[in-house]
Amino acid sequence: MVSTAQLRNQQFLFISHENILSIVVPNNIMAQAAKYATSLAEASTGGEFKRTASVYRNFITKDGSSGFKAEANRYHLYISLACPWANRCLAMRHLKGLQNVIGVTVVSPVWDVVDPDTQAKGWVFPKEESRGATPDPLYGVKNIRELYLLGSPQHNGKCTVPVLWDKQKKAIVNNESAEIIRMFNAEFSEFSSKDSLDYYPEGLRKEIDEINHWVYEGINDGVYRCGFARSQEAYEKAFTTLFECLDRVEAILAQKRYLCGDQITEADVRLFMTIIRFDAVYHTYFKTNLHHISYYYNLSNWTNDVYQHRDLGKDCIDIFHIKQHYFRSHQVLNPYGIVPLGPVLPDFNAPHDREKKFPAKKH
C-alpha cells in the first residue's frame, strides 16, 4: 500500500496554502454535540473516534427463558435505511423470511431537532410517508429520542438505530445490530419462512467471529474512525488500517466466493453494508479516498454478487436515504449540507464473475 508519508507529499504538489479557505464551525454546534449524547461527540483526547457500546442488550429466545419469548407480531424494528448497522437487521429480517413476523418502521434520512433544550439533532419520523419513511405507527412519537424515553424515562445516552422494540413490555429489547441479527437468524425458527438458511452455522462460527472482529475494527467502524477523527494523526491511523483491511478482504475473495466459503454468512452481510456505501459516501465524506471499490477486482465482483441477492440488494439498499443522511445530518462536518451529485456509481446489477470463478460443488 502507498504510505501516508507518500500521500502527504503528493498533496503538497497540488495545494497552495494561500488558497485554502478556513470554515468556521459555529461554537454552538460543537457545544450541542458535546452536551447531547451522539456518536459525533465520542472522541478520545488524541482525537480518535471512540464508539460507546450499545446499552440495551436483552435477548429474545425461543423458549422465553430470557423474559423475551420469540413470538409473531410482538416485536418491532425501527431503522434508518441510511444506517449500515440498521441495514444489517433489515437484511437479516428478509434473509430469514420474517417480514410477516417482525414489523419495521423507517425514519427520515435527515436528522432534525429532537431535544428542544439543546436544539440537538437526531432521528425523526416524517409527518407523512416519504420515500419509505413513515410516521411512528405504534405510538405516534415524533422521533427516536421520544421512543427511547417512552421505554426508559431515565435514558440519557445516545438514541441510535436500530431499535428492536417489544410492544408487549413497551420497552427496548436491544439496540445492538450484531445481536439483533443473531436473534433473527436463530430464535424465530417457528415463524421463519426460510429457517433452513443459517447465516451463523455452527461449523463456521469461529471463522465468522474472527473475520467480524477485524472487519468491524478496520472497516465497519474504521470508516467512521476516519470520518469522525478530530486529529490528522487519528485520521491517518484509521485510514491506513482501513485500506490494509480492504487488501485483506480482497485476498480472501480471490480464494473464496464469500468470506467464509461458498455460502453467504453474516460476515458478508456485515461487510456488504459498509462496502455498498463506500463510493457514494465514505470516499468523499469520510475522506476514505485512497481507492474506490472498483480498484479491488474481487471485492467489486463480490459486491455485485451480494447485491443481486434480492434480500440484500433491491429490497434493502436505498442510495437516496444513504446520501441524504450523511451529507445533511452532521452540521459539524458539512455545515451547508450540500449533497454531492456524483460519483457515478457502479451498476450493481451488472454481471459478475463469482459463479464462474467458484463453480458450485457437485455432491
Ligand X SMILES: N[C@@H](CCC(=O)N[C@@H](CS)C(=O)NCC(=O)O)C(=O)O
Contacts for 308 with CB less than 8 Å, ≥ 6 apart: 348, 349, 352
* Active-site residue, from 36, 56, 78, 83: 83
Question: Which of residues 177, 212, 304, 331 is near ligand X by CB under 6 A?
Answer: 177
Considering only CA atoms, which of 78, 43, 133 is closest in space to residue 320? 133
β partners of residue 115: 120
CA distance 90 to 68: 20
For the four alpha carbons of 145, 148, 150 and 156, in that order, the dihedral sign comes to negative
Does 83 help bind ligand X (rule: CB under 6 A)? yes
Does 85 help bind ligand X (rule: CB under 6 A)? yes
Considering only CA atoms, which of 124, 118, 189 is closest in space to residue 156? 118
**Grid coordinates in use for 242?**
482501513
Residue 110 per-residue DSSP state: S
Does 161 help bind ligand X (rule: CB under 6 A)? yes
The interface with ligand X within residues 308-327 (CB under 6 A) comprises none
Does 331 help bind ligand X (rule: CB under 6 A)? no
Q: Which is nearer to ligand X, 222 or 304 (CB)?
A: 222
303, amino acid identity: T
Of 94-102, 154-162, 291-299, 337-345: span binding ligand X (CB under 6 A): 154-162
Is 224 an annotated catalytic residue? yes
Binding mask 52-71 toward ligand X (x if CB under 6 A, else -) reads: --x-----------------
CA distance 108 to 87: 14
Does 223 help bind ligand X (rule: CB under 6 A)? no
Of 155-163, 245-253, 297-305, 333-341: span binding ligand X (CB under 6 A): 155-163
CB 230 → ligand X: shortest distance, Å? 15
What are the strands of the beta sheet with 103-106, ordered from one edge?
Answer: 103-106, 75-79, 163-166, 171-174
Q: Which is nearer to ligand X, 29 or 83 (CB)?
A: 83
Q: Which is nearer to ligand X, 158 or 283 (CB)?
A: 158
Question: Which of residues 122, 222, 227, 313 is near ligand X by CB under 6 A?
Answer: 122
Does 39 help bind ligand X (rule: CB under 6 A)? yes
C-beta atoms surrounding 1 within 10 Å: 12
* Active-site residue, from 224, 285, 296, 307: 224
- The answer for 347, left when phi > 0, alpha when psi is -120 to 50, beta otherwise, is beta
**Grid coordinates in use for 80?**
434508518
CA distance 42 to 225: 10
CB 9 → ligand X: shortest distance, Å? 34
Is 199 an annotated catalytic residue? no
CA distance 223 to 191: 36
CA distance 236 to 88: 28
Q: Which is nearer to ligand X, 60 or 83 (CB)?
A: 83
CB 172 → ligand X: shortest distance, Å? 12
Question: Which of residues 32, 38, 143, 324 is near ligand X by CB under 6 A?
Answer: 38
Does 160 help bind ligand X (rule: CB under 6 A)? yes
Contact set with ligand X (CB under 6 A)? 38-39, 54, 83, 85, 122, 158, 160-162, 176-178
The catalytic site residues sit at 83, 224
